[in-house]
Structure 1
Amino acid sequence: MKLATSAASTCSSRTRRPASLPEGHTLHRLASELTDTFGGRVVSSSSPQGRFGVGASRLDGRVLERAEAWGKHLLVDFAGLRERVHVHLGIYGSFVVAAADQPVVGQVRWRLATGTATADLRGPTVCELLEPDDADALIDRIGPDPLRADADPDQAWQRISSSRAPIATLLMDQRVMSGVGNVYRAEVLFRHRVDPDLAGHELDRETFAAMWADLMTLMRTGVQTGRIDTVDAEHEPEAMGRDPRVDDHGGEVYVYRRDGQACLVCGATVCTRVHAGRNLFWCPSCQHRR
């Protein structure tokens, strides 16, 4: 498929490129890596930076049972301990698993180590021990996660269908649906030709169900590959005779950070604006409300 001729632009000027929160697939991928590396093993636990010193000492010498993701939150369980470790990476956090005997570099909030591996947590928004009731309350506050088998999409639908807020706002509200970030928000709205300004109660149930199913597929692929790819085969670089996309988030996408460029489907100019404090990307032709 070739690019259509460009249409007149109704876009605003380019916006700044702030750092972005990791999306849900990143946390699920991290949870699997931590469980595969440390699950069932005695670990040493420390806080080289000192800000998680008391909590780290309670975990030292215990068996790590598992790590699991709930949207953008990570919970880690240890044998014989009622509390659960709660980690939220925020914008600047990272949790890197590497070979054993790695020197401490930078401000490491929490380090896990065995004889064969280490995992260093740096710059999280949250790293804390939660009592069971507090952990349950955290889970109850967030919406269903498309990557979890126990998720109930009807909970998200009930909140969306009863709201007058724009769908672009609702998809980023972690109380409505957890794990969906700026990239998946923009891409799933484009893929289903939904106007970002459409009020939640105006979205039909069939479109919502299709969007939920699509997010499940797209985000599972993200867990497997570690990147976000959302374009169909006919719009891949080789199929269209175009250069691969180059961006620090990786992956082939339709509209995210493609403002000012031609839409891969219709050729209109992809637009952007600040919406609720975040950059929103959309195609004014493909996502025009008719």
Structure 2
Amino acid sequence: MPEGHTLHRLAGELTLVFGGREVEASSPQGRFAESAALIDGQVLVGAEAWGKHLFVGFPDERFVHIHLGLYGGLEVVAGVPEVPVPRGQVRLRLVAAPAGGSAAFSYADLRGATTCELLTRAERDLVVLRSGPDPLRADADPGLAWERIRRSRAPIGSLLMDQSVLAGVGNVYRAEVLFRHRIDPYRPGNTLRIGQWRAMWDDLVVLMREGVRTGRIDTVRPEHTPEAMGRPPRRDDHGGEVYVYRRNGMPCHVCGRSVRTAELQGRNLFWCSQCQRRYRSRALQ
């Protein structure tokens, strides 16, 4: 499932390519046809992301709400001489005709999304209200997430993936930020100190902003890059250099111990048992 940086990149692309322009909206697949007709011929005001939710704004405070889920994808293409025939199951297609003396078209195709719906402002706000703070948003309040974490006995590895606690963090950022801060993923949330949480939040802000910029997730520090360590670069369809994500059984870049994996609430968890030592409450010591 795409993590929050991907949705923020898409929001930026949509705003850059279509913002302020009249668009043709259609649903070649047919499942969004009725709603597409309501925004067809309207000006696309702009797009924004909140966690893993994407909102595409139109006049009269109407928003196309998109959640890509596990299999969704949104392709944005600018500056083509003609718009191709839709391929596959395109739920929503947006097209902007040539303007400003240009002869080029722009289009966007949405496929396989879990959610594609037209919302009012009030409905959009309800989606946001159910979401935790997003490290990529300037208006985010990390204190809201901390209030949930400090009251919960659930593992911090679960809480970081709970979109009502923290919006936009997925399996990769969860595994990597816990490793970078040497925190046991099974440690109960209510045993963390606020300084540990704020350090993780600040780290996520930096890492995820870099993800928006580059389109990939890189989490290793300069001393652990392939060039610095003399090791081959990572080969994985997710791209990027990481410490533990999908590196189960491979040596930790820091201590050399084999990276471990286990299932936590239906998702694969990755960690180094040496660098992220098991948390033991002082009451049990």
- TM-score range, shorter-chain basis? over 0.9
Please list, as runs of the form range in 1=range in 2, the aligned pairs for 1:73-112 lying within 5 A after superposition.
73-79=53-59, 81-98=60-77, 99=80, 100-112=82-94
Paired AA for residue 90 in structure 1: G
Query: Where does structure 1 differ by over 6 angstroms across 4 or more consecutive aligned residues?
Result: none
Number of matched residues? 269
Map 1:7-26 onto structure 2 (within 5 A): 21-26=1-6
CA distance in 2, matches of 1:191, 1:238: 19
Aligned to 2:164: 175
Structure 1 residue 289: deviation in Å? Answer: 3.3
Identical-pair percentage: 62
Equivalents in 2 of 1:121, 1:215: separation in Å?
28
Which 5+ residue runs of structure 1 have no aligned equivalent? 1-20
Q: How does 1:201-280 map to 2 (within 5 A)?
A: 201-280=190-269
| SS across alignment from 2:45 | strand
The two structures have a TM-score, normalised by structure 2, of: 0.93
Match of 2:38 in 1: 58
Q: Distance in 2 between matches of 1:197 and 1:256?
A: 16
Question: 1:96 and 1:120 mapped to 2: Cα distance?
Answer: 5
Higher RCO, Cα 8 Å, sep 6+: 1
Residues 1:70 and 2:38 aligned together: no
The one of 2, 14, 18 aligned to 1:38: 18
CA shift for structure 1 position 82: 2.9
Distance in 2 of aligned mates of 1:31 and 1:103: 24
My pick for the range that moved more, 192-201 or 129-138, is 129-138
Rounded Cα–Cα distance in structure 2 between residues aligned with 1:173 and 1:94? 22
Aligned to 1:126: 115
Structure 1 contact 218–229 (Cα < 8 Å) conserved: yes
Q: Which deviations, in whole Å up to 9, do the C-alpha atoms of 1:230-282 show, x marking residues without a partner?
A: 00000000100000000000000000000000000000100001110000000
Alpha-carbon distance between aligned partners in 2 of 1:288 and 1:259, rounded to the nearest angstrom = 16
User: How far has the Cα of 1:102 moved from its partner?
Assistant: 2.0
Amino acid corresponding to residue 172 of structure 1 in structure 2: M
Equivalent-residue separation in structure 2 for 1:135 and 1:119 (angstroms): 22
Superposed displacement of residue 206, structure 1: 0.6
SS at match of 1:281: strand
Which residue of structure 2 lines up, in the alignment, with residue 160 of structure 1?
Answer: 149
Give the RMSD, CA atoms, in angstroms: 0.8
Instruction: Give the whole-Å Cα distance in 1 for the aligned partners of 2:61 and 2:225.
Output: 48
Partner residue, 2:100 = none
